[in-house]
Structure 1
Amino acid sequence: MPPRCPRRVRSHPARAARLAAAALAAVIAILMSTGAAHAEPSPAQLEAQIDEAWNQLEPTIEKYNQVHTLLKDNQAKAAALQRQLQPLEAQVEAAMGQVSEIAVRAFKGGQVTALDVLLHTDSPEALLGQLAVVNEIARNQRASVRSVAEARDKLAGDKQALDAIIAQQSQQDADLAAKKKEIEGKIAELQKLRQQAYGSGGGTGALKPVACPVDYLGGPGGTAAKKACSLIGKPYVWGAAGPDGYDCSGLTLTAWAAAGVKLRHYTKWQWEDTKAVSRSELRPGDLVFFFSDLHHMGLYVGGGWMVHAPTTGDHVRMAKLEGRPITGYRRPG
């Protein structure tokens, strides 16, 4: 007898539908429970995290600006002192070479007596004259060499003290530079958060939502404001003052440089080098400082707006002053 084909089992339509519905409900329940456990933070929460983290990083950046600038200034001073020391050393050597044997012995405190002269003198008159000459030579050579040597020793002492300061600042500079990798790692994490919240563009809106400057002003302040506005869109680069990127104090010093006013690359120095103005006196070009340690700043462009370099991953942009932790307003010039 030929083998029989196995019997095909037909599933009941209603039963299959019930099974499919139950499976779908189970999957949905799993997905919902997973989503609840790993809920993504909202854009507002991410922005708050970025602001908090950046406010911890930016003071380090500004401190680096300060130390690095001071180090370069002191290194230049040390080089200038070294250039002054070289001719003084040569003068001392030349003066010592020109001193006669007797004058050298006198300058060094050796024994110069009448016997030294008597052995080479034929008469009492010549003896007296030559003794006078010996004394004059010794006196003049001592004074000449001493004055140059004193100047040399003073400069050498100044340079030694400056070298000690440079050594300390070099260590600080190296320590801060060593943090760069760590800072950049944190910055990369922040950028990922920004991309999660806003996409790969990293923006939170238009960089220039209104006309910039909002209020037109002639003079240096107006020139600085227009320069700041022209830099909108440039990337934030910590420790930079252009032309390819800017940090907050690098942006403001570049803007005011266009008006012929020199500011130093450090927020606290810019605070110190400018005069206070009130909120009612605020006009385009004025500097706006934030936080108690002054670690961030922007440049006012009118209408309640400023231009600033906000944070890494971002760009020079306009922002409203309202709602920010303003410490004070200052005016250069």
Structure 2
Amino acid sequence: MGFVSAQPSGDRLTQAQREVERQRERLEDAVERYNYACHKLEQTRGEMAENEAEIAQAEAELASNKTRLNGRVRAMYMARHNEFLDVVVNAGSFDEFLVGLDLAKKVGRKDAEMVRGVKEAKARLESARQTLAQREAEQAAARKEMAESKAAVERDLAGAEGIAANVEAEIRQAMAARAAQAATSTGSRRSYPTPDPVVRRAVPPGTPHPGVVDVAYAQLGKPYVWGASGPNSFDCSGLVKYCYRVGAGINISHSSYAQAYCGTPVSVSELAPGDILGFRGWGHVGLYVGGGEYIHAPQSGDVVRVASLAARRNYCGAVRP
């Protein structure tokens, strides 16, 4: 009788666990969108800093040119009569007189054009400053929106996990004979799971970034934590970023969507250990280690582990930095 009454709860548990997995995928996608928003905002702020430095340089150059031009104008005004006499006296002919007079005018015009050119450059930089400030505001708003979206998904995930936990409790109560087994199973689900034993594959000669694979294997068993990029915990793009920085000295973005463009696309037949694999439209990433396997940080509540590429149906591409 107890078994019969527990069966519907078992179905409910399956549904609840599927919902938990769905919410975890949503959370990972939200985290990566948030990471990408942070990446774009950081880029814009870097451009703003460069633009401000160029504005400061233009202002200094403009001030210097203005000072030089004012000095020349003042000197020419004070000595204009003498300079005119010099042109007249030293001219060997009327043609030379005209050439000398025109040259004096051109010197003044050149200085004025130099100042005008710097002014125009500064105006362009000021316009760029306004454009960048507007872009920064938009991207900061986008980052805030992504953070709020992520928080909402976290709440949904917590709710789904709560429902699953309640159903589990019902099953434990209905199946007293399996209480010990159920408690052990529940405990293992709520702690970080132990990865299956891994047979380390040798990295073949000629691998573009062999050190990346070595670093990836060293992270096995470390917990998934959203927004983390090592050394003790990771999200999916944080793991890839960490392995490339430590194993190859290459600094790539902490965003799966940005990582999709951080290298040369490669086909499945061309995959080499260290290539970055994308899944779910690049909402998730991992590192290929050879033999049809990859290392990734799967999801909240899990750990860095080795997985089979053939078993993953939402593979969408690969790049090689």
Instruction: Tell me the TM-score range normalised by the shorter chain.
Output: 0.7 to 0.9
Question: CA distance change for structure 1 residues 308 and 259 in 2, over 3 Å: closer, same or farther?
Answer: same
**2:96 alignment partner in structure 1:** none
Counterpart residue type for residue 155 of structure 1: L
Distance 1:285 1:70 in 2: 25
**2:222 alignment partner in structure 1:** 234
- What SS does the aligned partner of 1:159 have? helix
Distance 2:85 2:57 in 1: 42
Q: What's the CA shift for 1:185?
A: 2.2
Distance 1:236 1:174 in 2: 23
What are the ranges of 5 or more consecutive residues in structure 1 without an aligned counterpart? 1-27, 105-115
* 2:276 is equivalent to residue 287 of structure 1: yes
Counterpart residue type for residue 80 of structure 1: E
Distance 1:200 1:101 in 2: 84
**1:296 alignment partner in structure 2:** 284
Q: What's the CA shift for 1:136?
A: 5.3
**2:210 alignment partner in structure 1:** 222
Q: What's the CA shift for 1:206?
A: 3.0
Q: What's the CA shift for 1:83?
A: 1.5
- What SS does the aligned partner of 1:272 have? coil
Whether the aligned pair in 1 keeps the contact of 2:241 and 2:253 (CA below 8 Å) is: yes
Counterpart residue type for residue 272 of structure 1: Y
Distance 2:225 2:52 in 1: 35
- What SS does the aligned partner of 1:311 have? coil
**2:125 alignment partner in structure 1:** 155
TM-score in terms of structure 1 length: 0.71
Question: CA distance change for structure 1 residues 217 and 189 in 2, over 3 Å: closer, same or farther?
Answer: farther
Q: 2:306 aligns with which of 293, 310, 318?
A: 318
Report 1:1-333 matches (<5 A). Answer: 35=5, 39-41=9-11, 44-100=14-70, 103=73, 125=85, 135=105, 138-192=108-162, 196=168, 198-201=185-188, 202=190, 206-211=194-199, 213-218=200-205, 219-257=207-245, 258-291=247-280, 293-333=281-321
Distance 1:190 1:286 in 2: 34
Distance 1:127 1:319 in 2: 88
Distance 2:160 2:242 in 1: 27
Distance 2:88 2:163 in 1: 95
Distance 2:301 2:160 in 1: 8
Q: What's the CA shift for 1:192?
A: 4.5
Distance 1:249 1:322 in 2: 21
Q: What's the CA shift for 1:164?
A: 1.8
Whether the aligned pair in 1 keeps the contact of 2:261 and 2:319 (CA below 8 Å) is: no
Distance 1:185 1:142 in 2: 64
- What SS does the aligned partner of 2:33 have? helix
Counterpart residue type for residue 57 of structure 1: L
Distance 2:51 2:152 in 1: 37
Larger Rg: 1
Question: CA distance change for structure 1 residues 278 and 136 in 2, over 3 Å: closer, same or farther?
Answer: closer
Q: What's the CA shift for 1:165?
A: 1.4
Percent of counterpart pairs with the same letter?
27
Larger helix fraction of residues: 2
